[in-house]
């Protein structure tokens, strides 16, 4: 369930992050950035807590993936701006 759960949580987080950040990138890019954000957010959270967070679909994992997705959208905007 680890990879599949992270993928599903990433899709949810990508849509939420694009809504929060008012990103006008399109649904497909939003979903890709969300999945990337879920993996990055999970890695960052694992570094700080020492606990792997790819356990499934729950509120904590969605919030971590949302934070990672917002970070990825910010980086995407910086790269695209140049």
pLDDT value of position 53: 65
| Per-residue model confidence (pLDDT) at position 8 | 84
Could you list the pLDDT tens digit for every one of the 82 residues in the chain?
477 877 888 888 888 888 888 877 888 888 888 888 888 888 888 888 887 766 678 888 888 889 999 999 889 889 988 7
Give residue 61's pLDDT. 84
The answer to whether the Cα torsion of 42, 46, 51, 52 is positive or negative is: positive
Angstrom distances, CA of residue 25 to CA of 11, 29, 69: 15, 6, 13
User: Residue 8 is encoded by which pair of tokens?
Assistant: 């599903």
The answer to whether residues 9 and 34 touch, using CB atoms and an 8 Å cutoff, is no
């Amino acid at each position: 369930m680890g990879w599949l759960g992270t993928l599903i949580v990433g899709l949810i987080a990508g849509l939420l992050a694009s809504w929060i950040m008012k990103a006008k990138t399109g649904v497909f890019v939003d979903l890709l950035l969300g999945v990337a954000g879920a993996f990055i957010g999970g890695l960052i959270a694992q570094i700080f807590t020492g606990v792997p967070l790819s356990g499934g679909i729950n509120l904590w994992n969605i919030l971590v993936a949302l934070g990672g997705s917002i970070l990825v959208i910010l980086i995407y905007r910086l790269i695209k701006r140049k």
